[in-house]
Amino acid sequence: MGKNILLIDKLNSTKELTKEEFISLFSTFTDEDIEYARSIACKIRDKWYGKKIYLRGLIEISSICKNDCFYCGIRRSNSAAERYRLSKEDILECCATGYSLGYRTFVLQGGEDLYYNDDVLCDIISSIKKLYPDVAVTLSIGEKTYHQYKKYYDAGADRYLLRHETANEEHYYKLHPQSMSFTNRIECLYNLKKIGYQVGTGFMVESPYQTPETLAEDFIFLKELNPDMVGIGPYIVHHSTPFANEQSGTSRTTLFLLSLIRIMLPYVLLPATTSLGTIDNDGQIKGFLSGANVMMPNLSPVNVRKKYLLYDNKLCSGNEAAEFKSSLCKKLKTFGFEVLDSRGDVKKEPLHN
Ligand code: SAM
Give, as one character, the DSSP assignment of residue 107: E
How far is C-alpha 145 from the geometric centre of its chain's CA atoms?
21
Nearest residue (by CA) to ligand 1, atom 11, is 163
165: nearest Cα among 114, 113, 217, 116: 217
Substitution candidate for ligand 1 out of 58, 64, 65, 72 with most atoms within 8 A of CB: 72
Q: Which residues of 74-83 are buried (b: 16+ CB within 10 A; e: fewer)?
A: bbbebeebee
Which protein residue has the closest C-alpha to ligand 1 atom 25?
235
Q: Is 238 in the pocket of ligand 1 (CB under 6 A)?
A: yes
Q: Which domains does the chain have, with CATH numbers?
A: 3-339 (3.20.20.70)
Cβ atoms of 48 and 347 within 8 Å: the answer is yes
What does pLDDT average to over the chain?
95
Question: Which pLDDT tens digit goes with each residue over 23-61?
Answer: 999 999 999 999 999 999 999 999 999 999 999 999 999
Q: What are the binding residues for [4Fe-4S] cluster?
A: 65, 69, 72
Torsion of CA 20, 24, 26, 30, to 10 degrees: -160
Q: From the alpha carbon of 141, which atom of ligand 1 is closest?
A: 2
Query: Beta partners for 271?
Result: 294
The pLDDT profile of the chain, 353 residues, written as one tens digit per residue, is: 799 999 999 999 999 999 999 999 999 999 999 999 999 999 999 999 999 999 999 999 999 999 999 999 999 999 999 999 999 999 999 999 999 999 999 999 999 999 999 999 999 999 999 999 999 999 999 999 999 999 999 999 999 999 999 999 999 999 999 999 999 999 999 999 999 999 999 999 999 999 999 999 999 999 999 999 999 999 999 999 999 999 999 999 999 999 999 999 999 999 999 999 999 999 999 999 999 999 999 999 999 998 999 999 898 766 667 778 888 899 999 999 999 989 999 998 755 54
Q: Is the CB of 204 under 6 A from ligand 1?
A: yes
Residue 160: Cβ within 10 Å count: 28
List the residue whose alpha carbon is closest to atom 20 of ligand 1: 72
Please report the atom of ligand 1 found closest to the CA of residue 236: 24
Residue 147 C-alpha to ligand 1 middle, in angstroms? 24
Element (H or E) spanning 188, and its range? helix 182-195
| ipTM higher than the 0.95 cut | yes
Whether the CB of 274 sits within 6 Å of ligand 1:
no
CA-proximal residue: ligand 1, atom 5 (nearest): 142
317 secondary structure, DSSP code: S
C-beta of residue 68 within 8 angstroms of C-beta of residue 76: yes
Q: Report the amino acid identity of residue 205.
A: V
Could you read off the pLDDT of 2-27 as tens digits, one per residue? Answer: 999 999 999 999 999 999 999 999 99
pLDDT at res. 350? 56
SS3 66: coil
